[in-house]
Structures are given as structure tokens and as C-alpha cells.
Amino acid sequence: MSSAAKEFLRNAAIKSADLAHRQTLRRNIDHYDAAIERARPRFLDWQAGRQRCHEIKWEAINHLDRYLLEFEERVRARGGHVFWAETAEDARRYITDLAARNGVRTIVKSKSMVGEEVHLTAALEEKGFRVLDTDLGEFIVQLRHEPPYHIVTPAMHLTRAQIAALFKEKLGGDGGDDPQKLVAVARRVLRKDFFSAEMGITGVNFLVADSGMVAITTNEGNDRLGTALPRIHVAITGIEKIVPRLADLALFWPMLANSGTGQSVTCYNSLIGGPRAPGELDGPEEFHVVLLDNGRSELLADAEQRDVLHCIRCGACLNVCPVFRTIGGHTYGATYSGPIGSVLMPHLLDGKKFDHLPFASSLCGACTDACPVKIDLHHHLLHERRNIVGAGEQPWSERMAFKLWRWMMMSAGRFEFLGWAGRAALRLAYGLGLEGSPLDPLRPWTKVHRAPRIPKRSFRALWKEQHGAD
């Protein structure tokens, strides 16, 4: 078992027992669920909409080579730069070098999960740059020295009171938990950095091929300040974020907003296609797009799981996932948590240490039903389990257990006899009061359950008795 797997088990045990944490999540997610339900009727036909989204992303991903080049050509034509980062290290180096070359001191960053994926902030801070997260949720978790808890709502695990206490301690807030006042505190702190920063880093929600633009969605407008004021704008994203046409956003914007937060459309949707053009009043002097691969093209080669690249990072699968709601985002120890994380992380470079994640699911399928681009999430967990087992890295004892089980089940006679023997042993053990003790043959089960009542006779024995053999 990898050390990441051990840590996952340890943290999962802690969070599973943390009732307050579970209640906070339930409350926060219920709030979103209610909003989604209210907003969904705005779609004439949501199911048809997600089918259309699925088809558009299918087209985009299956012609990724063409659409990405189209995007690049158009950005370059407007004087922007496009950098193809094969690895996380490539992306970090490009951006740190760019900042160093331009004498940057302060960087304002709006939300970017790809930034998290490549550990961009740490790399920049190590080189002496000051990096400020300007998304309110990110700002909060940065103050707590934590990674984002959730890909859309980074501070979902916190209550208003906890945030108020944090602001009081770190920023001199008055400790009141009125949301408007809390936002005002963050705004006061952030505003002056927007004016002094030399570089703005943003994520990207969609790369639009036919117009060569990046589409950025936020609820706080922090991306606009972060791209309009600093001299350099760097947009960093994964190669899969492409959509073919500008017109596709007419569907994707509301789909993303509705699935993620239950809004009809997110508050601020920006399209940026290049640096400030002659005669324009604002915008950066330099515009860079960093396109990250980091294992994605290997996933593209996997016809079975390729649709994982359809993901628009709305977070819907996390919110509906009963495992996520029990163990929370940080337990995964991964940039992307929840169902999408469990199918995506093992495919990223250095993803092998996440091979336990596809197994940490009850396969309930709520994620697949919630996904607005119809990724076959819970079936991909099955596919990934098969791939991992096929690579032969499961413990010998488990492999043997399944071989034995198969041998037993290939014959009704063996099954009947061994079933009888097993039940007799259990009845004896429980008769002796061994239930739940270390000698309990069902120990892994009875650690958390009362043992089932063990019947004397099996169905097939009872049936034979009542109906004779057939």
C-alpha cells in the first residue's frame, strides 16, 4: 500500500467519525441543491441540454489536435503567447521564468485548479514572488494554509463563524459573521494588491477554438481586476478545456453555473483573446496561455475512459457523492477530489499513488446522473479497478481469495457444502459469544455492524425440502 493510500485511510477514518464536519457539509450542499432545483426549470429540457453538451465535448475532445491548433493560431495572431507544457514542471518553469524576466514582485491569482495541480503558488513563492489568491474561497483557505477543499467552492467545509474568527485573527476583522461585512474585509485587503501587482494569473473555464479566446467565469469579478490591471496576464489550463465555437458557450455557461452552484449564469463571464490592442484603454501588455498536458494525452489515447476529458469542473459530482460528503475534500489528498478526482488522478503523470481512489467508492452512480456532460463516472471507476488489478499490484492474499471464491462458485455442490460449513462455523462462534471479538470470522464486518442472524439452512436446502430436487 502506498503512503498516500495509508494517509487516505487514516484521514478517512478521522473524517468519517467527525459528525460536525458531516453536518456542515450537509448544510452547505443542501443550500446548493435547493438552488439547483430552483434554477433547473430554466432549461426547457435539461436532459437534452446535457446530451448536447456531451456531444459538443465529444467533438472537441476527439478532434483536440485540430481545435487546439486553431485556438493557438488565433491567440498568436492577436499578439498573445501560447505555451505547451507537457509536464507540471514545464508549466512552473515557464511562469516563474516569465515573472523573473519581467521584474515581477506581486502576483494576484484568481481561481485555477490547474494552478493547484502544478503547485504553482508554492513554486512562485519559493522564487520569492508574493502570490495572493483573490477568489474569496481561495483567499480564505490560503489564510489557513490549506489547499482548496473543493474544486468550485474551496472553503465549503467552513462555517461563517469559523471564517469570521479567521478574519479577526489574521486581518483584524471585528469577528461579526455577516457575509457582506466579511466580504468587505476581504475586499479592503485585496484591493490594494490588485493595483500594485505586476502579474495576474487566472484559470480558464473554456478555451474557445473559433475565436481564440479564453472564457473565465467568476462570481466576484476578481478575474477582471486581475486581468485588467497588472501588466502581464497568464492564463493556465488543461488542454481538455476546449470548445469548438463561441456559440457553444450559450449552453455551457448556464450548464456550468447551474450544475456547480445552482445559479442561472455565473455573475462574471469574461472572454479574453489577447493583450491590449493599440487604441484600447485597458488590458495587459502581455498575454500568455499555458496549456498543460500532464498525462492528459495518455488519457486521450484510452478510448474507454477518454470522456473523462469532457469534464468542465462544475463540481456537481462532488456535491452528490456520499463518499465525498462523508470524508470531505482534503482527505483525498489530491488536487481533484470526489468522483472526477478518483477517475482522473490515476491518469495524471505521477498518478500511480492515487490507485486506491477508484476503489474508495460504493459505485452508487449519483455522480454519473449529476454530470452535465454525461461522463460515465462510476463505470470508469470499474474500468480503472480492472486496469489496476490487471497490472497485478493487488496483495497476493486478495488475488488468492478471489481465485478460491471463483473455484467455489464454479460448482453448486462446492458452494452448498462450503456455505453450510461456513454457516455452521459462524453459528458455533456466535453461540460461544464471539461476535465482534478478534476471533469473529466476520471480523471486518462486525467491527462496525452487528452480525447478521445466521440461518441454519440455506435457501436451496429449504427449497429442496419443500419442492424436491429439480
Partner 1 sequence: MKKVAMFIPCFVDQLTPEVGLDMARVLHRIGFQTEFPSAQTCCGQPAFNSGYWPDARPLAEHFVRVFHGAEAVVCPSGSCATMVRNFYPELLAGTPLFDEAVNLGRRVFEFSEFLVNVAKVSDVGASFPHRVAYHDACHALRELHLKREPRELLRHVRGIEFVEMPYSEDCCGFGGTFATKFSMISSAMGDTKAGNAEASGAEYLTSTDPSCLLHIDGILRRRKSAVRTIHLAGILAQTADSAGRASGESR
How many of the chain's residues bind partner 1 (CB under 8 A)? 66
Taking residues 312 to 351 in sequence order and writing x for each that binds partner 1 by CB under 8 A, - otherwise, the string is: ----------xx--xx------------------------
Shortest separation between residue 381's beta carbon and partner 1, angstroms: 9
- Does residue 441 interact with partner 1 by CB under 8 A? no
- Among 359, 427, 440, 441, contact with partner 1 (rule: CB under 8 A): 359
Rank residues 192 and 406 by Cβ distance to partner 1 and give the closer one: 406
Shortest separation between residue 21's beta carbon and partner 1, angstroms: 10
Long-range contacts of 180-189 (CB under 8 A, 24+ apart): 183/136, 186/136, 186/139, 186/140
The dihedral through the CA atoms of 145, 124, 226, 202 has a sign that is negative
Q: Which three cell numbers stand for residue 280?
A: 484600447
Task: Tell me the backbone φ, ψ of residue 213, rounded to 5 degrees.
Answer: -125, 155
Taking residues 2 to 31 in sequence order and writing x for each that binds partner 1 by CB under 8 A, - otherwise, the string is: -------x--xx--xx----x---------
- Does residue 431 interact with partner 1 by CB under 8 A? no
- Among 40, 78, 389, 440, contact with partner 1 (rule: CB under 8 A): 389
- Among 103, 390, 433, 438, contact with partner 1 (rule: CB under 8 A): 390
2 in Cβ contact with 353 (< 8 Å): yes
Shortest separation between residue 322's beta carbon and partner 1, angstroms: 5
Write the CA distances from 35 to 22, 38, 39, 325, 374, integer angstroms.
20, 5, 6, 18, 21
Order of strands, sheet of 106-109, starting from the edge strand that comes earlier in the sequence: 81-85, 286-292, 232-238, 199-202, 106-109, 130-133
Q: Which residue has the cell 430552483?
A: 38
- Does residue 192 interact with partner 1 by CB under 8 A? no
- Among 409, 421, 425, 428, contact with partner 1 (rule: CB under 8 A): 409
Cα 274 to Cα 287: distance, rounded to the nearest angstrom: 6
Q: Which three cell numbers stand for residue 409?
A: 462458485
230 in Cβ contact with 200 (< 8 Å): yes
The footprint of partner 1 (CB under 8 A) covers 9, 12-13, 16-17, 22, 322-323, 326-327, 359-366, 368-369, 382, 385-390, 394, 398-399, 402-403, 405-406, 408-412, 415, 419, 422-423, 444-455, 457-464, 467, 469-470
